[in-house]
Structure 1
Amino acid sequence: MLFGAAAGAFLPRIAHRLTVPFGSPARSACGRCGRAYPSGAAGWIHAGPACGAGGHWPPVTFALIAGVLAAALGPTPQLPIHLLAVIPGLLLAMIDLGCLRLPDRLVGTIALGVGAPLALLAPDRIVPALAAGLLVGAAYLAIALLPGHGLGLGDVKLGAALAFLLGFAGWPAVAVCLGTAHLLNGVVATWLLVIRKGRPLPFGPALLVGFLLATVTPALTGALTAA
């Protein structure tokens, strides 16, 4: 959890600078106070909120996720892989919540950064993993192309990437991820209708929550069964 809190402290400024409309460059100044960011790495590497007006939830969230992963996975080769994946995962969630965008580079970082080590650990699962990614990607693309769709191309790519990664664990993990994501977004959408607050609903955070649940569920289920 200390690793999570320390790493998460550097995420707010990066996420804030990348929370811009599609095709726009990263922010050169704080969107809250208007203060210009330093040039070079100093403008990106900063512990704490993006500015004094920012919040502190990313470090806390990162610490909690890291703790859940450590408790569920234990000292396994998969633990450091998934801990590192939390960094781009949280960035994607923060950006999607802020501007309904899932940058390709971050999606690719998760797919390659987690997929490559998992492929080395379980080469016999590469074909099922690819099949899961292609199937989910094709299904989501078909939904995104429908009139009045609720998915963007970023959602399609992220869904395919996460399905590919969970394909190494098996089809039940893919089903848990997607089922959780759609259930969670359905509940939130219903709540927004009840309070009559229509607004576009990002799907990326729900997919990432589903991915986390699918990752830890087998380990937690096994521990409860053993007990």
Structure 2
Amino acid sequence: MDLDPWLIALTVAAALWGAGVGTLLPRPAYRFTVDEEDSWQDECPAGHRITGVAGGWLGPARCTADLPGATTAVTPLTATAPTCAYGPSTPTVATATALVCATLALATGPRPELGVWLLLAPLGVLLTLVDLGAQRLPDALTLPLAGLALVLLGAVAFVPEHAGQWRSAAYGTLALGGFYFLFFLIRPVALGFGDVKLALGLGAVLGWYGWGALYLGTFAGALIGSAYTLAVAARGRPVRGQQVALGPFMIAGAYVGLLLEAYAA
């Protein structure tokens, strides 16, 4: 099968976009990773004030300070101050974001909704990092995800060659959000209200391609979560009563559902 050179170029461009945006995510991931009653992190672990791009919110999680044992980058011609690194690894996050964006481009192709997926994907990666680090999904991330998904998809609905429907995206928001809200009322110890708010955005993204995508993405998330639980149990670690961050599984399931439905559309 011959490869479409335009699709290859689109995929490379998406990967470069993901890598570039991914380098900006470690710092907000660190700053958002706090308990619910705490304010956002404004200092590195060594107590130095976080400054930089966008008020210290964007970029690799590191600061330059005179710290004992800090990593120092030295070349024969230059010597920089010690660097205090913290938060998730910038190369790892950038690579993961690049892979997510590249696969979305391969599955979606040149259809206009790809622009929405590429804008929302870094936000999904950031939410995953925060929930893994603090078992918390901040309103400052989940609510913009839902709002942006509906607004951007609403705009894409007026662009020719799109493959989804805004009405089904809106229904998906209500359906998945309502499902998780009902689950929250029945078993509030099993998930947090942040998961309910996350479901609003994921419902819009999956609902764009119809009810089948919504079912598939939800089922895939449950399947991935169950596989993780079984893997943890197989290693002899207790799982009953243990708090588990559901957000990463919900996002992973939505990603799988979106890939499959975008490719099939």
Q: Please state which band the TM-score falls in when normalised by the shorter chain.
A: 0.7 to 0.9
Q: Does the residue aligned with 2:126 lie in a helix, a strand or coil?
A: helix
8 Å contact kept, 1:17–1:28: yes
Contact preservation (8 Å) 1:20, 1:26: yes
1:63 aligns with 2:98: yes
| Match among 22, 43, 56 for residue 43 of structure 1 | 56
Which residue does 2:40 correspond to in 1? Answer: 26
Residues 38/128 of structure 1: CA separation in 2 closer, same or farther (3 Å cut):
closer
Do the aligned partners of residues 129 and 38 (structure 1) sit closer, same or farther apart at CA in structure 2, a change above 3 Å counting? Answer: closer
Contact 2:150–2:169, Cα closer than 8 Å, also in 1: no
Q: Which runs of 5+ in 2 are unaligned?
A: 1-14, 64-83, 159-163
The aligned counterpart of 1:4 is: 18
Q: Which structure has the larger Rg?
A: 2
Q: Deviation string for 1:127-175 (max 9, x for gaps)?
A: 4333332222222122222346411111111113211232121001001
Alignment deviations for residues 163-199 of structure 1 (CA, whole Å, 9 cap, x no partner): 1232121001001110011000111112222223244
Residue range with higher mean Cα deviation, 1-10 or 157-166: 157-166
Pairing 1:215–2:228 present: no
Q: Pick from 185, 204, 207 the counterpart of residue 145 of structure 1.
A: 185
What TM-score does the superposition give when structure 2 sets the normalisation length? 0.75
SS of the residue 2:186 aligns to? coil
1:128 aligns to 2:168 (yes or no): yes
**Retained in 2: the 8 A contact 1:19–1:98?**
yes
User: Which structure shows the higher helix fraction?
Assistant: 1
Partners of 1:14 and 1:44 within 8 A in 2: yes
Q: Look up the equivalent residue of 2:131 and give its one-letter code.
A: D
1:191-222 deviation digits (Å, cap 9, x = unpaired): 22222324421111111112212222134346
C-alpha RMSD over aligned residues: 2.3
Structure 1: gaps spanning 5 or more residues: 223-227
Is it true that 1:16 corresponds to 2:30 in the alignment? yes
Q: Could you tell me which residue of structure 2 aligns to residue 225 of structure 1?
A: none
Shift of 1:43: 1.9
Does the CA-based 8 Å contact 1:92-1:204 persist in structure 2? Answer: yes
How many Å apart are 1:38 and its aligned residue? 2.5
Q: In 2 relative to 1, CA 148–216 (structure 1 residues): closer, same or farther, beyond 3 Å?
A: closer
Alignment of 1:54-203 (within 5 A): 54-55=88-89, 56-122=91-157, 125-147=165-187, 149-198=189-238, 199-203=242-246
Alpha-carbon spacing, 1:78–1:194, altered in 2? closer, same or farther (3 Å): same
Evaluate the alpha carbon distance shift between residue 147 and residue 172 of structure 1 in structure 2; reply closer, same or farther with a 3 A threshold: closer
Q: Percent identity?
A: 29
Stretches (4+) displaced over 6 A: none
Deviation at 1:48, TM superposition (A): 5.8
